[in-house]
């Protein structure tokens, strides 16, 4: 029987835990604060930013919204980041991506203080993750670890295959699974015999950005399947990188879309903000 990994309920549980923590911090005189910067008004970004603000509100985190016009210069953005880096009452800084083309994303990410890098995108955060030092971890991969652990799925010693090698998901995911003592394979567009490689997985994590590409031919009987993708199908219905109905027939656990990985990303962002405030208080 296939079991559903319920990201909606697991993320709600994490958010409730954080809400309690934030209330206790507030009682001790500490207000957790996140600065959210959006440049331009890409509709998808506006939805994500709106969801982040809503989560902050629910948990009791103060969110400072900076909605900058599309034509904001790189210099102006960098100077805002510099100002927020120096503000003692700001615990986290999030710059929503993608940025307009005239702004260098790498430069912007590197300008955020690693102490406030709640997205975990700064080179120092990524480096720390690689060598097992403390630092913020990218929210989607961190959320996937929570999904597995809180569903009681063992990771140590398992064969984990990751499809996709992005800086935000695939690469940090590989490091995190390694940290949990899985045997990790990272595949990508140039991988030969992807189906055969994917079929080795006890835990298959898919982040390729292609709607319903992963069918049961890629999945070993009894595998755990984690779907990071989010798309609209031909009927305008939300779907993932995994063909859910097809794969559900062979796997032991699967994340739905929506309600799987998606809500975990925001929960882990909130977790990073709270952690940042806690570290600063020490
Ligand atoms: N754009 C898409 N995903 C993300 C994310 O996790 N963080 C930021 N800052 N921008 C994004």
Check if the beta carbon of residue 31 is closer than 8 Å to that of residue 281: no
Q: What residue owns the CA closest to ligand 1's atom 9?
A: 96
Per-residue pLDDT at 221: 98
**For residue 98, which atom of ligand 1 is closest to its CA?**
1
Residues paired with residue 186 on neighbouring β-strands, in sequence order: 162
C-alpha distance from residue 106 to each of 31, 138, 167, 260 (Å) = 30, 15, 12, 29
Mutating to test ligand 1, I would choose from 34, 40, 47, 119 the residue with most ligand atoms within 8 A of its C-beta, which is 119
Per-residue pLDDT at 11: 98
pLDDT < 70 positions in the chain: 282
Q: What's the pLDDT tens digit per position in 1-29?
A: 899 999 999 999 999 999 999 999 999 99
What is the total residue count of the chain?
282
Whether 89 is catalytic is no
Please tell me the distance from the alpha carbon of residue 100 to that of residue 43, in angstroms, as a whole number: 13
Q: What's the pLDDT tens digit per position in 210-257?
A: 999 999 999 999 999 999 999 999 999 999 999 999 999 999 999 999
Q: What residue owns the CA closest to ligand 1's atom 2?
A: 97
* Ligand 1 environment, Cβ below 6 A: 94-97, 119, 139, 265
Per-residue pLDDT at 54: 98
152: exposed, middle or buried (C-beta count within 10 Å: 0-12, 13-18, 19+)?
exposed
Quote the ligand 1 centre to 263 CA distance (angstroms). 13
**For residue 269, which atom of ligand 1 is closest to its CA?**
6
222: exposed, middle or buried (C-beta count within 10 Å: 0-12, 13-18, 19+)?
exposed
Go through 16-53 and write b for each residue having 16 or more CB atoms within 10 A of its CB, e for each that does not. eebbebbeebeeeebebbbbbbbbbebeebeebbeebb
Whether 158 is catalytic is no
Q: What residue owns the CA closest to ligand 1's atom 3?
A: 97
Check if the beta carbon of residue 4 is closer than 8 Å to that of residue 258: no
Per-residue pLDDT at 1: 85
Q: What residue owns the CA closest to ligand 1's atom 8?
A: 96
Per-residue pLDDT at 178: 98
Quote the ligand 1 centre to 5 CA distance (angstroms). 23
Check if the beta carbon of residue 45 is closer than 8 Å to that of residue 38: yes
Paired sense of beta strands 231-232 and 238-239, if any: antiparallel
Q: How far is CA 188 from the centre of its chain?
A: 19
ipTM of this complex prediction, to 2 decimal places: 0.93
Check if the beta carbon of residue 52 is closer than 8 Å to that of residue 272: no
Whether 52 is catalytic is yes
């Amino acid at each position: 029987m296939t079991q559903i990994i319920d990201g909606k309920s697991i993320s709600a549980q994490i958010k409730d835990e954080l809400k309690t923590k934030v209330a206790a911090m507030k009682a001790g005189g500490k207000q957790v604060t996140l600065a959210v910067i959006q440049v331009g008004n890409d509709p998808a970004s506006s939805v994500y930013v709106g969801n982040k603000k809503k989560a902050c509100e629910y948990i009791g985190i103060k969110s400072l919204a900076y909605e900058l016009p599309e034509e904001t210069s790189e210099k102006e953005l960098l100077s805002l980041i510099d100002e927020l880096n120096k503000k003692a009452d700001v615990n986290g800084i999030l710059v929503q991506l993608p940025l307009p083309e005239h702004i260098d994303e790498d430069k912007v990410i590197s300008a955020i203080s690693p102490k406030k890098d709640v997205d975990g995108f700064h080179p120092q955060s990524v480096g720390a993750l690689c060598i097992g030092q403390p630092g913020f971890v990218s929210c989607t991969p961190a959320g996937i670890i929570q999904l597995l652990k809180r569903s009681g799925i063992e990771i140590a010693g398992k064969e984990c295959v990751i499809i996709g090698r992005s800086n935000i998901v695939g690469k940090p995911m590989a490091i995190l699974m390694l940290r949990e003592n899985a045997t990790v394979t990272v595949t990508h567009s140039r991988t030969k015999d992807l189906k055969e490689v994917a079929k080795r997985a006890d835990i298959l994590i898919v982040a390729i950005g292609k709607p319903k590409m992963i069918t049961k031919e890629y999945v070993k009987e009894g595998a755990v399947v984690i779907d990071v993708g989010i798309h609209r199908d031909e009927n305008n219905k939300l779907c993932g990188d995994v063909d859910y109905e097809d794969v559900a027939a062979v796997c032991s656990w699967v994340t739905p879309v929506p309600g799987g990985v998606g809500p975990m990303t925001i929960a882990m962002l909130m977790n990073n903000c709270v952690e940042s405030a806690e570290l600063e208080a020490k």
